[in-house]
Structure 1
């Protein structure tokens, strides 16, 4: 779907996923028209000022981004938000974070753990048809979580849908003295169906996740993998012509904070695997240190087959997708690569975006590959074993290269794409703009591609658009979901969650605190309100106007009898989120007082020693305090 200037309509587009829910926990969503330059990352010191008052639509001009935002809040507040590159809507988190459908509640036995020793014990005592549910927190692993034996349908899940709430941490990707924790999660033996979901795994010397021979049907769902010493998700063969089959990696983020340790790295690396699906993921910064070339972010090879790679976003990776890698019999066969966006900035050297190498009968359809001139042939197919390949409707800023004897059909592709064709190529937003007429309605209809990068129906005009985005596409229905939890992140079950507005529904939160309203008409106006006897909720409700995407609304429950707490408990987020973090003078900020003078009101407001603040007498140049 194309995103013109005023098309981003919610703060989760600017502050992706659960980070935005946390930063704007007291606000109700409303229209958020953004200047086109808002897509472009700002320097880490650039600040966005959002000044608002109680139940009033406030507006502010971003200090350095030329941005106009309207946002409706439930309390008087002023927020200062960093607009560094990692917060750009297309720096990686936005789709993967804001559109993750929640998993259904666990079935079978459920073992809940809240400490690292409990987690290790649950792994040792694991039985088939069991889910290990991990409470929010950071778990420094003393040993790899080994699942080795005959198990069926087991799962390791964070207790919340927020993958940032549970962190499994290793010794460090550069720490060779890793002790008993070389990996994060290791499976092997005869594991038939394993789900790893709703958590972060980071800082391991080898692999955060490794599936060994005997594992089948693994699923990695809504997982963030950070800073691996080698491959992030590794799937090994059995040495006898078989491997791990029917794997799924989806709605996940795989990234380095800076660079890899060396060149021996991939995001997903599958040997001899059949029928894998890799979709709706973000791969970011998979690069080697200067002078090296990292492996493909997604590598399916060593006699793998029938892989589907779709709707993935690759940001600043040395190489993107590779089906096969070398001429050795067939290295991969069949499969499809469709609706992926691959971006690399001009300052990041690298290699090919999509490679089909010794992979016959593979289709490469409707991808957008913009490498900013860093590599002249963004799509390549090579070796004589690569036959009957179809490469169609791809949009790229270079040429397609058939090399080393490869043969196939090329049709409907557009080479030489320009940055002006995209919403913001410099930030990796490769959605088409209206003036990209050389790509809009110029593609060939394809029964293998019925939707686009955003999952929206093709075609919208007289013919398919070229590339991953179908300009003007809109979804007809969306969902609003989220979680109800207490201040410690524990689930609040059986809370009544009511939906009003364009549709009216009511449901109760499940055992994990989750709820979801589905099939909501696009463009509608909706209010979500939680309630439960004996509790107050922050925010009191969540308002969505002109629903244009799946939305998340999380609520924090407080015991009414205990009140909302004093300043040290309730105002800490206010102080952290709403002061100038680097001491810069920003002018008048209405209604802001020093932390020690603030206390939370019963209804979510902010009072100054029991009094409502005078919004006309705010501090002119509030600076970061000791705790802010």
Structure 2
């Protein structure tokens, strides 16, 4: 009995020692970086240490050339687990003659965690689908201010190689001046991908100032398959979520439980405000339980366009504008509601934000 009592007394102490040992081991396994040059060196294919888990100390890392990730199983994260304290900054949100991406990924199983990326001439991140870069994962990041799409998955021109099983969650995509620098911008723009998950992110001000409409906040096309877009907030962006294009198909997938909100702006402020959710040449796709509120003057909240091999399902969505068929689109519509009640949508938006994993960061951006 005495021995049992001693063991019970010592158990919490033993547990705390084990936890502390685990934390020390985790830190020791992480390659700590304090400078931009160290970061380039850690990612070099010539690095004999073959670093895989890179932790960035707090600070601003000014990048004068693209970070190339060409080895698999690389993880880059902030040591503090706070994306506001670790910033990867490019040369500026401006047009350039040369390719100007912050990060280029040509390998599988790459992770980006708790980082801010900002100010690039092309993309903040490009995943090379043509290099068969699969299982990309990004979480708890902030992407700001690129001259083109903030996040891009490029494609193999033959269509035979795809980027598969990527996940992006708990990440903010935004243009911090309230509008983009030109029309050729977007949030997440993905070609020829399979089975990606875009979950619980937030998008702000993916909007064109002139000439043409901006790309979508979230867009999967070029024969992408099985995309799931779930629980995202999209605010004041020209177009919300799009699967496919007129001559570029999308197959399967779902768009579920997202909230798309566009406030009232003068036409000179948001000249190209457009649809909340659109299926274009997309087949067998489910659009379910989304909220779409557009105070922009555009007539349609959800559109389904162009012929498809099978019907899409559009069900249990709540909008303040029409759900509209265009160009011979095909869909089954079930139990959708159209309400012209701004107070109701404001209340639903507040509830959505309160339940969102990013709620602490969303509130300041919504006021």
Q: Give the TM interval when normalised to the shorter protein.
A: 0.7 to 0.9
The one of 95, 114, 118 aligned to 1:198: 114
Identify the residue that residue 191 of structure 2 maps to in structure 1. 271
Over the residues paired in the alignment, what is the CA RMSD in angstroms? 2.6
Contact 2:43 2:51 in 1 (8 A): no
The one of 63, 67, 71 aligned to 1:145: 67
Distance 1:287 1:216 in 2: 29
Q: Which runs of 5 or more residues in structure 1 are unaligned?
A: 1-104, 433-451, 456-477, 479-548, 553-628
Q: Which runs of 5 or more residues in structure 2 are unaligned?
A: 1-24, 362-367
Identify the residue that residue 156 of structure 1 maps to in structure 2. 76
Secondary structure, aligned partner of 1:295: coil
What are the Cα deviations for residues 413-462 of structure 1, in whole angstroms up to 9, with x where unaligned? 0013310213458xxx3548xxxxxxxxxxxxxxxxxxx9937xxxxxxx
1:337 lines up with 2:255 in the alignment: yes
1:294 lines up with 2:195 in the alignment: no
Residues 203-222 of structure 1 mapped to structure 2, 5 A cutoff: 203-212=119-128, 213-214=130-131, 215-222=133-140
The one of 305, 313, 322 aligned to 1:382: 305
More helix by share: 2
Post-superposition shift, 1:232? 0.9
Post-superposition shift, 1:144? 1.0
Contact 1:367 1:395 in 2 (8 A): yes
Distance 1:327 1:551 in 2: 40
Give the alignment's TM-score, normalised by structure 1.
Answer: 0.49
Contact 1:107 1:129 in 2 (8 A): no
Contact 2:42 2:51 in 1 (8 A): no
Secondary structure, aligned partner of 1:387: coil
Post-superposition shift, 1:301? 0.2
Contact 2:202 2:232 in 1 (8 A): yes
The structure with more radius of gyration: 1
Secondary structure, aligned partner of 1:299: strand
Distance 2:175 2:296 in 1: 23
Contact 2:76 2:113 in 1 (8 A): yes
Identify the residue that residue 88 of structure 2 maps to in structure 1. 168
Distance 2:203 2:26 in 1: 28
Secondary structure, aligned partner of 2:337: coil
Distance 1:197 1:281 in 2: 14
Residues 292-371 of structure 1 mapped to structure 2, 5 A cutoff: 292-328=212-248, 331-347=249-265, 348-349=270-271, 350-371=273-294
Secondary structure, aligned partner of 1:192: coil
Secondary structure, aligned partner of 1:405: coil
Identify the residue that residue 133 of structure 1 maps to in structure 2. 55
Distance 2:169 2:26 in 1: 18
Contact 1:423 1:430 in 2 (8 A): yes
Contact 1:380 1:402 in 2 (8 A): yes
Identify the residue that residue 145 of structure 2 maps to in structure 1. 227
Secondary structure, aligned partner of 2:152: strand
Post-superposition shift, 1:551? 8.8
Distance 1:293 1:551, change over 3 A: closer
Identify the residue that residue 240 of structure 1 maps to in structure 2. 158
Post-superposition shift, 1:388? 1.6
Residues 479-628 of structure 1 mapped to structure 2, 5 A cutoff: none
Distance 2:48 2:134 in 1: 17
Distance 1:108 1:378, change over 3 A: farther
Distance 2:320 2:227 in 1: 25
Higher relative contact order structure (alpha carbons within 8 Å, sequence separation ≥ 6)? 1
Distance 1:322 1:401, change over 3 A: same
